[in-house]
Amino acid sequence: MKVKNICCIGAGYVGGPTMAIIAQKSPEINVTVVDINEKRIAAWNDPDVEKIPIYEPGLAEVVAEARGRNLFFSTDVDAAIDAADMIFISVNTPTKTYGMGKGMAADLKYIELCARQIARVAKNDKIIVEKSTLPVRTAEALKRILDNTGNGVNFQILSNPEFLAEGTAVTDLHKPDRVLIGGDLDTEAGREAIQALVDVYGHWVSDDNILTTNVWSSELSKLTANAFLAQRVSSINAMSELCEVTEADVQEVAKAIGMDSRIGPKFLKASVGFGGSCFQKDILNLVYIAKSFGLNEVADYWEQVILMNDHQKRRFAAKIVKTLFNTVSGKKIALLGWAFKKDTNDTRESAAIYVADYLLNEQAEIVVYDPKVTKEQILADLDYLGTRSEEENRKLITVVNSAQEACKAAHAVAVMTEWDAFKTLDWEAIYEGMLKPAFLFDGRRLLDKEALTALGFEFYAIGS
Ligand code: NAD
Ligand code: UDX
């Protein structure tokens, strides 16, 4: 079967970029991305392609090439479902904030709503693709909902988790390490559905990089990959604390161990803590699943990755307070960067949010500059924590348009996101404008310690 019409439900960080690349590489397939969020769809359709709602290097160019040709963004979910032979579900699956599994399990209500909507609308056979990250065995629940339509429609369910990282989404999608497709390998119809999706990726990904498995392995591989990646960050961050008390340097340690080909050099960068919408959510979900099968040791093992990460964020904030003579009350502290990593405007679970919250509890005045994050987003992130009133957040937080402005008359500066531009700031001028002693905290190992110390900064970097 050759796919002609694709619908993707969810025009977010995954649905938008993934579908843009599929459309770019497969001109004969019509791709319609739908969302209930009207503002988001309007932004995807903005005539000025630089105003699409997600900032990713290279994405605007891809959208400019395909949009209106075979890539469409719409709020008419029913129409897109009806027209599609293949439907990707790429809606959010956040950690539950209520009820059973609160704070741990993935909230699957958006997934279920999609399944019920597809069941209601579909009039002909369709392939449903799980693109969202889901607990292992979710396909079983989807199948039960879809098989009860009464319309005599047949559905094949595939799992096709997405491994792109934000900030490098376009290159990750153009050259994926692997594409993983899980499906029903035991039936002819299942194998045909898998082949149909293999053919879509086959437009630009070689066969060697497309891996097919059963559905459950595919679902679980996604949670496993994120757990392993996050575990590396927590492991090196644990070592960063030990380095600080032993005069070892975490960057040297990372290099030394990374040259062991069994360990490898990637994902060993000590930091103020990992953020992003995936790592914490997916590990908590893994912990929940393990617990629900009674596998308490497995659950405890992975939970430690999160506990270490929380500790790292707190420890960094506490270091600022301790260094500033045990009080930051009424002191101005500049945070450079708010996004959870460079080259994205995404702030979900960003370490900066938690460091700011800690410092605000210590009555600091916080000034933030991030090249891609809006003031509204920064305030919304803090309001969401519910630590203090919205009025108080607005009184204590200022958001400015340049790093220079943020650091003016500050007691301390903390680098929270590794934006390249922070490396080449006029640090001499920043030093001149700050109160003395001028404290600089590098939460990303971004800056040149020797050069900045020579300028006069009191310099602290994670892990040395
Ligand atoms: P997102 O919040 O950016 O986007 C999800 C979109 O789905 C939202 O715009 C929302 O309005 C829409 N939506 C929700 N319910 C809907 C419905 N019933 N009908 C139509 N639209 C609906 O989320 P995201 O970051 O794109 O993540 C989506 C999934 O992909 C999650 O499961 C996530 O774990 C996974 N994932 C994310 C990343 C990443 O880097 N962000 C990477 C890999 C996997
Ligand atoms: C992650 C996975 O990498 C990706 O495969 C998956 O599809 C979604 O989740 P993402 O969260 O977008 O991607 O970014 P990633 O590059 O993994 O970084 C996550 C966090 O870890 C960031 O806050 C980053 O700064 C931090 N990190 C990463 C480190 O602190 N040190 C490292 O060495 C690597």
| pLDDT band (50, 70, 90) for residue 152 | confident
Rounded Cα gap, residues 312 and 301, in angstroms: 18
| pLDDT band (50, 70, 90) for residue 403 | very high
Are both 5-205 and 215-464 of the same fold?
Answer: yes
Instruction: Tell which atom from ligand 1 comes closest to the C-alpha of 166.
Output: 40
The two three-digit tokens of residue 424, written as one number = 């080449």
User: Model-level pTM greater than 0.90?
Assistant: yes
Q: How far is the CA of 229 from the centre of ligand 2 (A)?
A: 8
For residue 53, what pLDDT is reported? Answer: 95
Identify the architecture of domain 5-205 in CATH: 3-Layer(aba) Sandwich (3.40)
Mode of pairing for the β-strands spanning 210-214 and 71-74: unpaired
Q: How far is the CA of 188 from the centre of ligand 2 (A)?
A: 38
Q: How far is the CA of 11 from the centre of ligand 1 (A)?
A: 7
Q: In sequence order, what are the residues at sequence separation of 6 or more whose Cβ sits closer than 8 angstroms to the Cβ of residue 384? A: none
Any idea where the domains of the chain sit in the sequence? 5-205, 215-464
Say whether pLDDT at 406 is over 80.
yes
Taking only the tens place, the pLDDT of each residue in 311-359 is 999 999 999 999 999 999 999 999 999 999 999 999 999 999 999 999 9
Binding residues: 10-15, 35, 40, 91-95, 132-133, 162-166, 222-226, 262, 269-275, 278-281, 340-341, 348, 444
Q: What's the DSSP call for residue 231?
A: H
Instruction: Tell which atom from ligand 1 comes closest to the C-alpha of 113.
Output: 18
| pLDDT band (50, 70, 90) for residue 148 | confident
Residues annotated as catalytic (active site), given as ranges: 278
Taking only the tens place, the pLDDT of each residue in 79-128 is 999 999 999 999 999 999 999 999 999 999 999 999 999 999 999 999 99
ipTM of the complex: 0.98
For residue 326, what pLDDT is reported? Answer: 98
At 312 the three-state DSSP class reads helix
For residue 149, what pLDDT is reported? Answer: 76
Give the ligand at the shortest distance from the Cα of 12.
Answer: 1
Is the Cα torsion angle 90, 96, 99, 102 positive or negative in sign? Answer: positive
Say whether pLDDT at 159 is over 90.
yes
Q: In sequence order, what are the residues at sequence separation of 6 or more whose Cβ sits closer than 8 angstroms to the Cβ of residue 352? A: 272, 275, 335, 337, 338, 339, 340, 368, 416, 417
- Ligand 1 close to Cβ of residue 14 (< 6 A): yes
Say whether pLDDT at 150 is over 90.
no
User: What is the domain class of 215-464 according to CATH?
Assistant: alpha beta
